[in-house]
Amino acid sequence: MYWTNFYNPRNPLSDIGRIQRDLHRLFNEYYPETQRAFPAVNIWTKDDSAVVTAELPGFTKKDVKLSVVDQDVIIEGEPVSEKRNEKEHYHRRERSRSMFKRSIHLPFPIDASKVDARLNNGVLVMSLPRAEEDKPKKIEIQA
Amino acid sequence: MAEKKSIQKQESQAIEQSERIRSGKVFLPATDIIETDNEIIIRADMPGVNEKAIDITLDNKVLTIQGCVDQDTPGDYQLAYSEYETGDYLRKFTLSDAIEQEKINARYKEGVLEVTLPKAEKMKARQITVTSE
């Protein structure tokens, strides 16, 4: 049979992995857009807190909603429409102006009451302290 | 540990013949260009730029928009995951004659630069009626 040439009896799943990789590559080539989650984020961490930054040009703080659920931060937003005129005509339209919702998983649970978020010049910076009960406890050896 | 995903921003390539003094990457800001009856509006996404670090020049019909980003990485944190890079912005557009160059107006708000270029009077669309004899 044709496929037996490729079939590896020691690891029958390797074929599936290969197919998945090939498909992934194919889709990435033709539809790179589908891989993009909006907004793009950077995550910075240290032992007891994390900083998440995202670029949200054109969004005001009223347009963006943030929530924290245990280990996840959810960013969602809807842009206010820029004034539209019936007679206007677009030569280029490269900026994304759509609704978004994105959840970001962090390495530790967050103390939601101590989160600090700022949106300045289109950049969102959230500082997310690790929940007190999740922090490692130092244990003294008694004897 | 830092994982990298595809970079969303497009890097500005060979846009300048001369090299820049400032190191770091330069990106092409995503831009909308809108034309109305009286003006052309350019809206460019330039997040992370301070208003004062924006430079707009018009030289020989070439409009250059430039913005320098303050690279402030949070204190003693480690970058754990990265989807975008930060850098300066630079983009050039060649304008047609039809612009009232003295009346160009620019403002920066929430990371978006908006440049309004009023059309010159003589180029505004005029209705011409055909009359029959």
Among B4, B7, B32, the strongest candidate for a mutation testing the A interface, having the largest count of A CBs within 10 A, is: B32
pLDDT at residue B19 greater than cutoff 90 = no
Structure tokens at A48: 């007891």
- Which residues from chain A sit within 8 angstroms of residue B73, using beta carbons? 44
Q: Say what the pLDDT of residue A79 is.
A: 81
> Domain for residue B115, yes or no?
yes
Per-residue DSSP letters for B15-69? Answer: --SSPPSS-S-EEEPPEEEEE-SSEEEEEEE-TTEEEEEEEEEEETTEEEEEEEE
Verify whether the Cβ–Cβ distance B47 to A60 is below 8 Å. no
pLDDT at residue B81 greater than cutoff 80 = yes
**Which of A32, A56, A95 lies closest to B30 in CB terms?**
A95
Structure tokens at A8: 């590896």
Structure tokens at A57: 């040009």
Task: Look up the ipTM and state it.
Answer: 0.76
pLDDT at residue B97 greater than cutoff 60 = yes
**Which of B6, B32, B37 lies closest to A87 in CB terms?**
B37
Verify whether the Cβ–Cβ distance A95 to B73 is below 8 Å. no
More confident: B68 or A21: B68
CA dihedral over B50, B52, B55, B56, signed as positive or negative? positive
Half-sphere exposure of B65 (CA within 13 A, CB side): 27
Going by pLDDT thresholds of 50, 70 and 90, the confidence category of residue B76 is confident
CA gyration radius, chain A: 23
CA–centroid distance for A66 within its chain: 13
**What are the residue boundaries of the structural domains of chain A, listed by start?**
1-36, 37-82+98-134
> Domain for residue B10, yes or no?
no
Question: Chains A, B: CB contacts under 8 A, how many?
Answer: 113
User: Per the structure, how many domains does chain B have?
Assistant: 1
**Which of B8, B34, B81 lies closest to A43 in CB terms?**
B81
pLDDT at residue B126 greater than cutoff 80 = no
Quote the domain boundaries for residue B64: 24-71+79-121
Going by pLDDT thresholds of 50, 70 and 90, the confidence category of residue B58 is confident
Which tens digit of pLDDT belongs to each residue from A112-141? 999 999 999 999 999 999 998 888 888 899
Structure tokens at B128: 């011409």
Pick the residue from chain A with its C-alpha nearest to B9.
A40
Q: Say what the pLDDT of residue B41 is.
A: 92
Q: Say what the pLDDT of residue A21 is.
A: 76
Please tell me the distance in Å from B59's CA to the nearest CA on chain A: 22
pLDDT at residue B1 greater than cutoff 60 = no
**Which of A32, A45, A95 lies closest to B45 in CB terms?**
A95
Interface of B with A (CB under 8 A): 5-6, 8, 30-37, 41, 43, 45-51, 73-74, 76-84, 108, 110-112
The CATH number of residue B95's host domain is: 2.60.40.790
Going by pLDDT thresholds of 50, 70 and 90, the confidence category of residue A9 is low
Which tens digit of pLDDT belongs to each residue from A19-78? 777 877 776 665 554 456 789 999 999 989 999 999 999 999 999 999 999 899 999 998
Q: Say what the pLDDT of residue B125 is.
A: 62
pLDDT at residue A82 greater than cutoff 80 = no
More confident: A32 or A15: A15
pLDDT at residue B6 greater than cutoff 50 = no
Structure tokens at B58: 């018009």
> Domain for residue B13, yes or no?
no
Residue that is written with structure tokens 């013949």 in the block: B17
Query: Residue B44 in contact with residue B31, Cβ under 8 Å?
Result: yes
CATH number of the domain at A37-82+98-134, please? Answer: 2.60.40.790
> Domain for residue B3, yes or no?
no
Please tell me the distance in Å from B52's CA to the nearest CA on chain A: 12
Pick the residue from chain B with its C-alpha nearest to A91.
B33
pLDDT at residue B111 greater than cutoff 80 = yes
Number of continuous H segments (helices) and E segments (strands) in chain B: 0, 11
**Which of A57, A87, A92 lies closest to B33 in CB terms?**
A92
